[in-house]
């Protein structure tokens, strides 16, 4: 299919313009605050990941964005238009500017794959021939042309989500909202669906806002990440930057599974009382992660040290990493090593002693 096919039917904002802007969004359910003043923007062509634990407010945020929920206060701008006070009738055309994909796919079981994909166009009253042609193009895009006449029950989870993606793109949306779209899929299928989303984003400049509770999803495809906790955005920034230096406890905890951790056998023996060997955590990003830091440390600071665990990863093409070092706690070697590593742009701290 050509680039024109996924371009929105109405004029879209210029590159870098805000597709979504939320301003101080608040929503309570009785005594329960779901959103406590959320402000964020999504710019054209970017993939913003919103991550948070269960109950953090993610679904409420999405529902405010597509007009299914009205905030108590604050503003929801989609393509420059404030939508939070619009009537149902006024919301209908705007909802077409937002495609959605869901954890459980939400396909109609009594309709064929191609009819599911064409459904948004049928609702718009577009002619049958156009619907057929568009469904065929989209099914080709998601690699499912052979399944056009099949019913959803005969598809795998990954195939169902591909149909969901094709359907979400049918009306040429300005924004794709992904609500835990890979949470029900196995890791390999998850990777293929995320690769498809990234491909669509890069080829057509489609703006994507994805909601997830998995950092791996953010790491794979998002440009920016916003961490939501108890109805507030607690941290936001480019993915590599947040991953390399997470500020909030919740972000650190969400990253726990994918950042190197001190091996349990050593963590259990760790003591705050200075002993034979100091255990250091050294976090590096950008230039500090590109240099031969350990060789330089060995040459600059005399004494014995060992690499216990860690490595360098690449996120959005930026090297970031965490290293755990054991350094002999004598002759000032620990203090000299800390000074040296800090001067080289690393973040180094003593976790304890063994
Ligand atoms: N309709 C509702 N009535 C009452 N409380 C609600 C309602 N919707 C959400 N809440 C509450 O608001 C808070 C935020 O819920 P929300 O569903 O937005 O979180 P979430 O991050 O999407 O969680 P999950 O990942 O489990 O879906 C929770 O405390 C939830 O119990």
Q: 222-261, pLDDT tens digit by residue?
A: 999 999 999 999 999 999 999 999 999 999 999 987 888 8
What is this structure's pTM? 0.87
> Do residues 237 and 319 both lie within one domain?
no
Which residue has a Cα nearest atom 17 of ligand 1?
59
Give the pLDDT band of residue 2 (cuts 50, 70, 90). very low
Which residue has a Cα nearest atom 7 of ligand 1?
29
For residue 96, report the distance from its CA to the centre of ligand 1, in Å.
Answer: 25
| Binding site membership of 52 for ligand 1 (Cβ less than 6 Å) | yes
Predicted confidence at residue 290, as pLDDT, reads 92
Last residue of a domain, one of 224, 255, 286: 255
pLDDT per residue as tens digits for the range 254-304 = 998 788 889 999 999 999 999 999 999 999 998 899 999 999 999 999 999
> For residue 278, is it within any domain?
yes
> Do residues 79 and 13 both lie within one domain?
yes
> Do residues 65 and 198 both lie within one domain?
yes
How many CB atoms within 10 Å of residue 302? Answer: 10
> Do residues 189 and 68 both lie within one domain?
yes
Domain of 326, CATH number, reads 3.30.70.260
Give the DSSP letter string of 152-221: GGGS-HHHHHHHHHHHHHTT--SEEEEESTTTTS-HHHHHHHHHHHHHHHHHH--EEEEEES-HHHHHHH
> Do residues 223 and 289 both lie within one domain?
no
Last residue of a domain, one of 255, 278, 294: 255
pLDDT per residue as tens digits for the range 188-233 = 999 999 999 999 999 999 999 999 999 999 999 999 999 999 999 9
Domain of 42, CATH number, reads 3.40.50.300
> For residue 208, is it within any domain?
yes
Predicted confidence at residue 1, as pLDDT, reads 42
User: What is the mean predicted confidence (pLDDT) over 114-140?
Assistant: 95
Predicted confidence at residue 259, as pLDDT, reads 85
Pocket test for ligand 1, best of 56, 227, 230, 232 (most atoms within 8 A of CB): 56
Give the pLDDT band of residue 184 (cuts 50, 70, 90). very high
Give yes or no for residue 16 having a pLDDT over 90: no
| Binding site membership of 49 for ligand 1 (Cβ less than 6 Å) | no
For residue 57, report the distance from its CA to the centre of ligand 1, in Å.
Answer: 6
Which residue has a Cα nearest atom 26 of ligand 1?
54
> Do residues 193 and 297 both lie within one domain?
no
Last residue of a domain, one of 201, 232, 255: 255
Which residue has a Cα nearest atom 4 of ligand 1?
29
User: What is the mean predicted confidence (pLDDT) over 67-76?
Assistant: 94
| Binding site membership of 57 for ligand 1 (Cβ less than 6 Å) | yes
> Do residues 250 and 275 both lie within one domain?
no
> Do residues 188 and 60 both lie within one domain?
yes
> Do residues 179 and 275 both lie within one domain?
no
> For residue 71, is it within any domain?
yes
Predicted confidence at residue 12, as pLDDT, reads 44
Which residue has a Cα nearest atom 25 of ligand 1?
54
Give yes or no for residue 15 having a pLDDT over 70: no
For residue 103, report the distance from its CA to the centre of ligand 1, in Å.
Answer: 16
> Do residues 320 and 191 both lie within one domain?
no
Q: How many domains does the chain have?
A: 2
> Do residues 89 and 217 both lie within one domain?
yes
CA distance 11 to 18: 14
> Do residues 180 and 55 both lie within one domain?
yes
Which residue has a Cα nearest atom 13 of ligand 1?
34
Q: Which residues form the domain of 349?
A: 264-353
Which residue has a Cα nearest atom 29 of ligand 1?
55
User: SS3 for 290?
Assistant: helix
Cβ-in-10-Å burial (0-12, 13-18, 19+) of 184 comes to middle
């Amino acid at each position: 299919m050509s680039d024109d096919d996924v371009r929105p039917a109405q004029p879209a904002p210029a590159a870098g313009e805000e597709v979504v802007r939320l301003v101080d969004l608040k929503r309570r359910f009785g005594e329960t605050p779901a959103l406590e003043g959320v402000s964020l923007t999504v710019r054209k062509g970017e993939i913003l990941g919103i991550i948070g634990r269960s109950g953090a407010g993610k679904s409420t945020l999405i529902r405010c964005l597509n007009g299914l929920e009205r905030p108590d206060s604050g503003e929801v701008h989609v393509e420059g238009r404030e939508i939070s006070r619009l009537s149902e009738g006024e919301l209908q055309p705007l909802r077409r500017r937002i495609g959605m994909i869901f954890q459980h796919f939400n396909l109609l079981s009594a309709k064929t794959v191609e009819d599911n994909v064409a459904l948004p166009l049928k609702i718009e009253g577009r002619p049958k021939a156009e619907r057929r042609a568009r469904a065929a193009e989209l099914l080709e895009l998601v690699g499912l042309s052979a399944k056009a006449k099949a019913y959803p029950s005969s598809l795998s989870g990954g195939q169902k989500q591909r149909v969901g993606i094709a359907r979400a793109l049918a009306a040429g949306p300005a924004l794709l909202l992904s609500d835990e779209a890979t949470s029900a899929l196995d890791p390999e299928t998850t990777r293929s669906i995320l690769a498809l989303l990234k491909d669509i984003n890069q080829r057509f400049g489609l703006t994507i806002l994805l909601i997830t509770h998995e950092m791996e999803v953010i790491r794979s495809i998002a440009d920016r990440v916003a961490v939501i906790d108890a109805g507030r955005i607690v941290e936001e920034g480019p993915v590599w930057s947040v991953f390399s230096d997470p500020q909030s406890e919740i972000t650190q905890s969400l990253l726990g599974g994918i950042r190197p951790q001190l091996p349990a056998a050593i963590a259990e023996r760790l003591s705050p009382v200075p002993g034979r060997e100091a255990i250091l955590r050294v976090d590096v990003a950008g230039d500090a992660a590109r240099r031969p830091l350990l060789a330089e440390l060995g040459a600059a600071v005399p004494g014995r040290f060992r690499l216990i665990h860690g490595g360098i990863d690449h996120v959005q093409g930026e090297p970031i990493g965490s290293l755990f070092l054991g350094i002999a706690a004598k002759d000032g070697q620990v203090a000299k090593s800390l000074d040296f590593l800090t001067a080289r742009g690393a973040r180094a701290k003593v976790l304890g002693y063994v």
